[in-house]
């Protein structure tokens, strides 16, 4: 009971730290409907001993990671380490600006896409991590986390440090459909300069690939629909170029495979005592067995 209460409280803290709207919580609850189909045979008490600390570590990195990311982005901008400027080249490729994605547009659809884009960068990951927590699988939690921000942040930095490619709306001189307000010109340029590859795409596509490995159809269908809408929103809102999206999907696939390899190699280094303790269920004795 204490483990369940602590888990719910920590998940609530994750949501409040991210400013989740009611729609975010509803999406999470829908994705949890069929969680029992993917649960592994591990005793809850034993799982909580390791699962809750692991979830807290992810929460800690989530809280501190945003500030670190913006420090790195500002450092790259101030030092101007971009030998390649791709703005003109990307803008010259037919259909690459994804104007076709707005062939049909409406104010209601605009608001929906803004919501999807704003939350999609972290919500897609947290839904998968929280759900994997309730499947009692530390391996799945680690797989989602590594395939998401933990590995993608350091691996994507060389691209952002070498290639200067700004968002579609900025290059084309169009209004920012996200309606962002920037205090200074420096804030604006830091926010729009790193496009290739699209990390909104890479995070959501990695989650989509991993979700397809689960058994529950509700979760798989919801994540396919949600993650695909995140990718579409990057083009509908005139933020990312089509080639950014393609590169983001390729980057995500490579990160997922690398995370699989890391987990496979790390599992061989785990002591057998840990594996035995974590995997062994508590023995239960029926009246018949006690009599016998």
Which burial class, exposed, middle or buried, applies to 153 when counting CB atoms under 10 A from its CB (0-12, 13-18, 19+)?
Answer: middle
Distance of CA 290 to the CA centre of its chain: 49
Per-residue pLDDT tens digits for 48-64: 988 999 999 888 887 76
Give residue 283's pLDDT band: very low, low, confident or very high (50, 70, 90).
Answer: very low
Percent of the chain with pLDDT over 90: 65
The 10s digit of each residue's pLDDT in 190-236 is 778 888 999 999 999 999 999 999 999 999 999 999 999 999 999 99
Examine residue 153 and state whether it is found in any structural domain, yes or no.
Answer: yes
Helix (H, G, I), strand (E, B) or coil at 96: coil
- % helix, strand, coil for the chain, step of 5: 75, 0, 25
pLDDT per residue over 86-98, tens digit each? 999 999 999 999 9
Q: At what angle do helices 107-134 and 199-211 cross, to 10 degrees?
A: 50
Answer whether residue 107 is part of any domain: yes
121-150 pLDDT tens trace: 999 999 999 999 999 999 999 999 999 999
The yes-or-no verdict on residue 77 having pLDDT over 70 is: no
Is the pLDDT reported for residue 281 higher than 70?
A: no
Band of pLDDT at residue 67, cut at 50, 70 and 90: low
Residue 131 domain-assigned? yes
Q: How far is CA 288 from CA 249, 282, 283, in A?
A: 56, 18, 14
Would 135 be classed as within a structural domain?
yes
Residue 188: is its pLDDT beyond 90? no
196: DSSP letter:
S
Instruction: Say how many domains are in the chain.
Output: 1
Domain with 14 in it: 2-277
| Domain annotation covers residue 287 | no
Identify the CA nearest to 229 among candidates 110, 102, 113.
113
Cα-to-chain-centroid distance, residue 136 = 20
Choose among 73, 231, 66, 228: nearest CA to 166.
73
Q: Is residue 283 part of a domain?
A: no
How high is the pLDDT of residue 105? 92
Is residue 292 one of the residues assigned to a domain?
no
In a domain, 291, yes or no: no
Taking each helix axis from N to C end, the angle separating 217-236 and 107-134, rounded to the nearest 10 degrees, works out to 140
**Exposure of 77 in the CB half-sphere (CA atoms within 13 A):** 18
**Beta bridge mates, 273:** none
Average pLDDT, the chain: 88
């Amino acid at each position: 009971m204490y483990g369940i209460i602590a888990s719910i409280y920590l998940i609530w803290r994750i949501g409040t730290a991210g400013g989740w709207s009611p729609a975010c919580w509803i999406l999470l609850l829908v994705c949890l409907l069929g969680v029992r189909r993917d649960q592994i045979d591990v005793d809850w008490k034993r799982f909580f001993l390791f699962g809750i600390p692991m979830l807290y570590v992810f929460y800690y990195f989530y809280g501190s990671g945003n500030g670190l990311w913006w420090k790195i982005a500002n450092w790259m901008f101030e030092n101007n380490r971009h030998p390649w400027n791709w703005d003109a080249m990307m803008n010259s490729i037919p259909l690459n600006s994804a104007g076709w994605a707005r062939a049909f547009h409406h104010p209601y659809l605009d608001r929906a896409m803004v919501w999807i884009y704003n939350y999609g960068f972290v919500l897609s990951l947290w839904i998968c991590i929280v759900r994997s927590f309730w499947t009692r699988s530390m391996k799945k939690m680690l797989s989602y986390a590594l395939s998401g921000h933990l590995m993608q942040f350091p691996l994507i930095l060389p691209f952002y440090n070498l290639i200067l490619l700004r968002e579609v709306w900025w290059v084309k001189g169009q209004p920012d459909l996200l309606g962002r307000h920037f205090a200074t010109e420096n804030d604006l340029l830091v926010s729009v300069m790193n496009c290739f590859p699209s990390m909104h795409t890479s995070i959501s596509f990695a989650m989509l690939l991993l979700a397809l490995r689960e058994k529950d159809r509700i979760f798989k269908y919801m994540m396919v629909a949600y993650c695909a809408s995140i990718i579409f929103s990057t083009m509908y809102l005139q933020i990312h170029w089509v080639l950014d999206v393609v590169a983001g999907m390729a980057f995500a696939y490579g990160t997922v495979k690398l995370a699989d390899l890391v987990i496979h190699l790390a599992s061989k280094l785990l002591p057998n005592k840990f594996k035995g303790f974590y995997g062994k269920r508590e023995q239960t004795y029926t009246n018949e067995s006690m009599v016998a």
